[in-house]
Structure 1
Amino acid sequence: MPRPLKILLMSTLYPSAARPVHGIFVETRLRELLGSGEVEARVIAPVPWFPFAGARFGEYGRYAATPRHERRNGIDVSHPRYFLPPRVGMNLAPHTLARAFLGEARHLAAEGFVPDVIDAHYYYPDGVAAGIAAARLGRPFVVTARGTDVNLIPDYPYPRQLILATAAQARASIGVCQALSDRLAELGADRCRLRTFRNGVDLERFSPVARTEARRHLGIADDGPALVSVGHLVERKGHHLAVDAMRQLPADTRLYVIGEGEERPALERQIRQHGLETRVRLVGAVANTELKWWYSAADATVLCSSREGWANVLLESMACGTPVVATDIWGTPEVVSSPAAGRLMAARTADALCAGWAALRAEPPAREATRRHAEGFSWDATTRAQLALFREIADA
Structure 2
Amino acid sequence: MLGCVRIALTHAYSWPEVRRGAERMVPDLARALSGRGHDVTVITSTWRPLAPQPWRVVRFARRHADESRHEASFGRRALAHLVVKRYDAVHSLGPRDAGASILAARVRRGRRTIYTNLGLPDRDWVSQQPWAATHERIVRRIDAYGCMSRFALDMLERDYNRRGVLTPGGVNLGEFVPAPRRVSTPTLLFSGAMGEPRKGVGLLLEALPLVARHVRDVRLWLSGPGDAAAMLDAASEEARARTEVLALGDAGDQPARYGQAWATVLPSTNDSFGMALLESLACGTPIVASSHAAPSELVSEGTGAVCAPDSAASIAEACVAAIELARQATTVDRCRASAERYDWNTGLAPAFERLYAGD
What secondary structure sits across from 2:9 in the alignment?
A: strand
1:312 aligns with 2:284: no
1:225 aligns with 2:186: yes
Q: Give the structure 2 partner of residue 131 of structure 1.
A: 102
How far, CA to CA, are the matches of 1:198 and 1:26 in structure 2? 12
C-alpha change, 1:85 and 1:196, in structure 2 (3 Å) is same
How far, CA to CA, are the matches of 2:283 and 2:71 in structure 1? 39
Q: Give the structure 1 partner of residue 9 of structure 2.
A: 9
1:175 aligns with 2:138: no
What secondary structure sits across from 1:240 in the alignment?
A: helix
Count matched residues: 349
Q: 1:88-108 deviations in whole A, cap 9, x for unaligned?
A: x75x776533212123445xx
What secondary structure sits across from 2:358 in the alignment?
A: helix
How far, CA to CA, are the matches of 2:108 and 2:198 in structure 1? 37
Q: Give the structure 2 partner of residue 331 of structure 1.
A: 294
How far, CA to CA, are the matches of 2:9 and 2:339 in structure 1? 27
How far, CA to CA, are the matches of 1:46 and 1:13 in structure 2? 6
Q: Superposed, which structure 2 residues align to 1:77-116 within 5 Å?
A: 77-81=57-61, 90=68, 95-105=72-82, 109=84, 113-116=85-88
Q: 1:119 Cα shift?
A: 0.9
Q: Which moved more, 1:295-304 or 1:73-82?
A: 73-82
Asked if 1 retains the 8 angstrom alpha-carbon contact of 2:198 and 2:269, the reply is yes
Q: Superposed, which structure 2 residues align to 1:59-78 within 5 Å?
A: 65-67=47-49, 70-78=50-58
What secondary structure sits across from 2:319 in the alignment?
A: helix
C-alpha change, 1:319 and 1:158, in structure 2 (3 Å) is closer
Q: Give the structure 2 partner of residue 388 of structure 1.
A: 354
Q: Give the structure 1 partner of residue 219 of structure 2.
A: 254
Q: Give the structure 1 partner of residue 43 of structure 2.
A: 44
Counterpart code for 1:258: S
Q: Give the structure 2 partner of residue 196 of structure 1.
A: 166
C-alpha change, 1:189 and 1:140, in structure 2 (3 Å) is farther
Counterpart code for 1:198: P
347, 352, 371: which one aligns with 2:336: 371
Asked if 2 retains the 8 angstrom alpha-carbon contact of 1:42 and 1:76, the reply is yes
Q: 1:110-149 deviations in whole A, cap 9, x for unaligned?
A: xxx5111111013x33423433344455544110112145
C-alpha change, 1:285 and 1:266, in structure 2 (3 Å) is same
C-alpha change, 1:202 and 1:85, in structure 2 (3 Å) is closer
Q: Which moved more, 1:354-363 or 1:200-209?
A: 354-363
Counterpart code for 1:77: V
What secondary structure sits across from 1:80 in the alignment?
A: strand
Q: Give the structure 1 partner of residue 32 of structure 2.
A: 32
How far, CA to CA, are the matches of 1:116 and 1:132 in structure 2? 15
Q: 1:286 Cα shift?
A: 3.6
Unmatched runs of 5 consecutive residues or more in structure 1: 48-64, 216-221
Asked if 2 retains the 8 angstrom alpha-carbon contact of 1:247 and 1:274, the reply is no
Unmatched runs of 5 consecutive residues or more in structure 2: none
C-alpha change, 1:275 and 1:381, in structure 2 (3 Å) is closer
What secondary structure sits across from 2:343 in the alignment?
A: coil
Asked if 1 retains the 8 angstrom alpha-carbon contact of 2:190 and 2:222, the reply is yes
How far, CA to CA, are the matches of 2:251 and 2:124 in structure 1? 28
C-alpha change, 1:183 and 1:126, in structure 2 (3 Å) is farther
111, 119, 134: which one aligns with 2:91: 119
How far, CA to CA, are the matches of 2:253 and 2:62 in structure 1? 33
Asked if 2 retains the 8 angstrom alpha-carbon contact of 1:340 and 1:373, the reply is no
Asked if 2 retains the 8 angstrom alpha-carbon contact of 1:167 and 1:173, the reply is yes
How far, CA to CA, are the matches of 2:324 and 2:3 in structure 1? 55
1:350 aligns with 2:350: no
What secondary structure sits across from 1:79 in the alignment?
A: strand
What secondary structure sits across from 1:12 in the alignment?
A: coil
Asked if 1 retains the 8 angstrom alpha-carbon contact of 2:82 and 2:101, the reply is no
How far, CA to CA, are the matches of 1:204 and 1:157 in structure 2? 39
How far, CA to CA, are the matches of 2:97 and 2:125 in structure 1? 12
Q: Give the structure 2 partner of residue 270 of structure 1.
A: 234
What secondary structure sits across from 2:246 in the alignment?
A: strand
How far, CA to CA, are the matches of 2:352 and 2:59 in structure 1? 25
The TM-score, its normalising length taken from structure 1, stands at 0.78
Q: 1:311 Cα shift?
A: 0.9
Q: Give the structure 2 partner of residue 61 of structure 1.
A: none
Asked if 1 retains the 8 angstrom alpha-carbon contact of 2:123 and 2:160, the reply is no
C-alpha change, 1:249 and 1:126, in structure 2 (3 Å) is same
How far, CA to CA, are the matches of 2:259 and 2:62 in structure 1? 41
What secondary structure sits across from 2:217 in the alignment?
A: coil
C-alpha RMSD over aligned residues: 2.9
Q: 1:346-376 deviations in whole A, cap 9, x for unaligned?
A: 3333222101123334566532222222224
How far, CA to CA, are the matches of 1:151 and 1:361 in structure 2? 38
Identity between Structure 1 and Structure 2 (%)? 22
147, 158, 166: which one aligns with 1:186: 158
What secondary structure sits across from 1:8 in the alignment?
A: strand
The TM-score, its normalising length taken from structure 2, stands at 0.85
Q: 1:157 Cα shift?
A: 7.6
C-alpha change, 1:269 and 1:239, in structure 2 (3 Å) is same
Q: 1:17-75 deviations in whole A, cap 9, x for unaligned?
A: x44667112221222222212x111111135xxxxxxxxxxxxxxxxx422xx354312
C-alpha change, 1:146 and 1:278, in structure 2 (3 Å) is same
